[in-house]
């Protein structure tokens, strides 16, 4: 953003050109960066349903897999009466292989990691998501409605097309609208005056 003398500068901005002297007017706790960091830190507290399910699943699955691996390493040699060291080594190797294959790390980590990746990727684009539960809710949305100019746009309006009723001229209607709005400073009024041109009615919009 461009800054001139007297403008407020958001903390965390990078000075690209020139020399800027800035006076600090707020403490760190009231700064924009502090609020953004607080939102990011609180994002981990709002877990989605899938994360909560995986957490509960891993609470029982992980001990069960470890216990099964221990039993696989100890029980067969004892019950089969095998006291040979090579046999114990084979069964311990099998138990370790079973533990690696059945380890829930990939399953448990994949779900929260995907949400963290999504939240991190959105933050790089300037979008702050309060938590994985909100990100999961967005996956089921097919329509989004915004009521504030500047949320997705830059506030620069332009006339794309004029659709008149039967028997009316698009240039005539646009000329009437521009004449009515030529002394207004509203962004939509400026878009109308910029789109208007001398038409068949002979009207010409003069700049305010």
Just list the catalytic residues: 147
pLDDT of residue 201: 42
Calpha distance 47→44 (Å, rounded): 7
Calpha distance 89→77 (Å, rounded): 10
Looking at per-residue confidence, does 198 or 27 come out higher? 27
* pTM higher than 0.85: no
User: 150 exposed, middle or buried (CB, 10 Å; 0-12, 13-18, 19+)?
Assistant: exposed
Q: Which long-range contacts (CB under 8 A, 24 or more apart) does 200-206 make?
A: 200/169, 200/171, 200/172, 201/169, 201/171, 201/172, 201/175, 203/175, 203/176, 203/179, 205/175, 205/178, 205/179, 206/182
- pLDDT tens digits for range 171-194: 888 888 888 888 888 888 888 888
């Amino acid at each position: 953003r461009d800054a001139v003398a007297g403008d407020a500068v958001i903390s965390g901005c990078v000075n690209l050109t020139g020399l800027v002297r800035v006076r600090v007017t707020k403490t760190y706790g009231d700064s924009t960066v502090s609020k953004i960091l607080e939102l990011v830190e609180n994002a981990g507290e709002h877990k989605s349903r899938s994360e909560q399910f995986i957490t509960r699943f891993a609470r029982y699955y992980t001990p069960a897999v470890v216990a099964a691996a221990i039993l696989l390493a100890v029980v067969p040699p004892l019950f089969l009466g095998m006291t040979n060291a090579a046999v114990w080594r084979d069964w311990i190797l099998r138990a370790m292989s079973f533990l690696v294959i059945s380890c829930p790390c990939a399953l448990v980590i994949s779900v929260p990691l995907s949400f963290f990746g999504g939240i991190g990727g959105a933050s790089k684009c300037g979008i702050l998501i309060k938590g994985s539960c909100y990100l999961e809710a967005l996956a089921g949305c097919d329509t989004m409605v915004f009521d504030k100019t500047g949320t997705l746009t830059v506030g620069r309006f332009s006339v794309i097309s004029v659709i008149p009723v039967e028997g009316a001229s698009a240039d005539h209607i646009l000329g009437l609208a521009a004449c009515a709005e030529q002394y207004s400073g509203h962004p939509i009024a400026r878009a109308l005056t910029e789109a208007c041109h001398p038409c068949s009615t002979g009207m010409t919009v003069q700049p305010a």
